[in-house]
Structure 1
Amino acid sequence: MPNPGMRRLLPYALTALIVILAAARLLWIDREPICKCGHIKLWHGQTMSAENSQHIADWYTPSHLIHGLLFYAALWLVARRLSFGWRLAIATLVESLWEIVENSDAIIERYRAVTISLDYYGDSVLNSVSDILAMILGFALASRLPVWASIILALGFEILTTWLIRDGLALNVLMLIWPLQAVRDWQAAL
């Protein structure tokens, strides 16, 4: 049986393995490793661009940080007896599965059909891994911040992205599940 120190590291090793396996799966389903443009940017701020969701961070990165805040809250409610490390591994698995599903042909076509993302052809693997890491950052922040600060952070990011790019986590989910033409028209007017 492994020593206690090794047991404490196990969920973190599993978390890293989940991220690696998600990247491998995305490569397996022919997602581009990096932007087809051939270079890597730390930040790409143009949403109506073929380079959106292709670099390390973009205007959708805050929504993944919010995922981390929300996953921390949900897992605190339903699995608070699990250690932080095991809850992080679960959250990373959920986020990684979402990145794989989000980059499936069916979801990509859904985004293209019901949102203003007509030039969206999926995330690069670099962007997907960065999104998973943003979720991990949000999860870690939620573990350290008071609840009120996590709420303000989530609302602040939603308000900021809604104001600047007319999109965010809530609008993204709405338009994926129940697209509204009025929202699509409002988003396209930017």
Structure 2
Amino acid sequence: MSAIDARNPAQRQAVWLAACAAIVVLQAVIMYWMGRIPICECGYVKLFEPIANGPGNSQHLADWYTPSHIIHGFLFYGLAHLLLRRRPIAAGLLLALVIEVGWELLENSPIIIDRYRAATISLDYYGDSILNSVMDTIFMALGFLFAWRAPVAATVAIAIVFEIFTGWLIRDNLTLNVLMLVYPLEAVKAWQSSL
């Protein structure tokens, strides 16, 4: 078996992509070690969970928080573009995956689960299934790749539409989620609870 030729861009890209895949597999393994359930306790998998505050939220392939993860990808592409401009796009994707996987692991730790339950309207949140968490990471990667190829104006417009639509529909979105996690406001919590 021959070594990787550092001058061969295709081989370097393959190494970066293998590292990207490995980080997602590592996410699933660590979540399993953390005691997270593989799929919803209901015993089946849905393509989309339409009830934002129900027991199936954060348990299936996608839910109303999926747009937030796509926006993560947009933001992480911007970060990678600033920090790794001269590196292959797969290097930027790896950076984005490391950040997203780190967040997914932290989000499913008792400290953040308890914080969500105390400071937000997510009283019934007990963490993600492994499937949902890995899909959140994959949706982030899709958002990253979209931002890489799409015009900046289109990416920004889609992020704004996602934020307005989910804010209107479920009274939550990435902006409100971060706000309520970092600096909870009773007025926002009351507004979210009145849905």
Give TM class, smaller chain: over 0.9
Q: Aligned match of 2:80 in 75, 95, 106?
A: 75
Letter in 2 for 1:2: I
Q: Distance in 2 between matches of 1:172 and 1:48?
A: 14
Q: Any residues of structure 2 matched to 1:166-177 within 5 Å, and which?
A: 166-177=171-182
Please, what is the CA RMSD of the aligned residues?
Answer: 0.7
TM-score (norm 1): 0.98
Contact 2:84 2:91 in 1 (8 A): no
Q: Distance in 2 between matches of 1:158 and 1:180?
A: 19
Report the equivalent of 2:4. Answer: 2
User: Counterpart of 2:190 in 1: which secondary structure?
Assistant: helix
Report the equivalent of 2:51. Answer: 46
User: Counterpart of 1:142 in 2: which secondary structure?
Assistant: helix
Report the equivalent of 1:181. Answer: 186
Deviates more, 1:76-85 or 1:101-110: 76-85
Q: Aligned match of 1:111 in 113, 116, 119?
A: 116
Report the equivalent of 2:138. Answer: 133
Q: Distance in 2 between matches of 1:78 and 1:7?
A: 19
Q: Distance in 1 between matches of 2:172 and 2:53?
A: 12
Runs of 4+ in structure 1 off by over 2 angstroms are none
2:68 is the alignment partner of 1:63: yes
Report the equivalent of 1:91. Answer: 96
Q: CA deviation at 1:173?
A: 0.2
Q: Aligned match of 2:30 in 15, 25, 32?
A: 25
Letter in 1 for 2:4: P
Q: Distance in 1 between matches of 2:56 and 2:82?
A: 38
Q: Any residues of structure 2 matched to 1:155-174 within 5 Å, and which?
A: 155-174=160-179
Q: Distance in 1 between matches of 2:76 and 2:83?
A: 10
Q: Distance in 1 between matches of 2:121 and 2:90?
A: 38
Structure 1: where are the runs of 5+ without partners?
Answer: none
Provide, for residues 124-177 of structure 1, a one-character-per-residue CA deviation record: whole Å limited to 9, x for no partner. 000000000000000000011000001001111000100000000000000000
Q: Distance in 1 between matches of 2:71 and 2:180?
A: 18
Provide, for residues 9-58 of structure 1, a one-character-per-residue CA deviation record: whole Å limited to 9, x for no partner. 11111000000000100010001110000000000010121111000000
Task: Provide the identity percentage.
Answer: 52
Q: Distance in 2 between matches of 1:37 and 1:136?
A: 27
TM-score (norm 2): 0.96
Letter in 2 for 1:146: P
Q: Distance in 1 between matches of 2:39 and 2:13?
A: 34
Q: CA deviation at 1:6?
A: 2.1
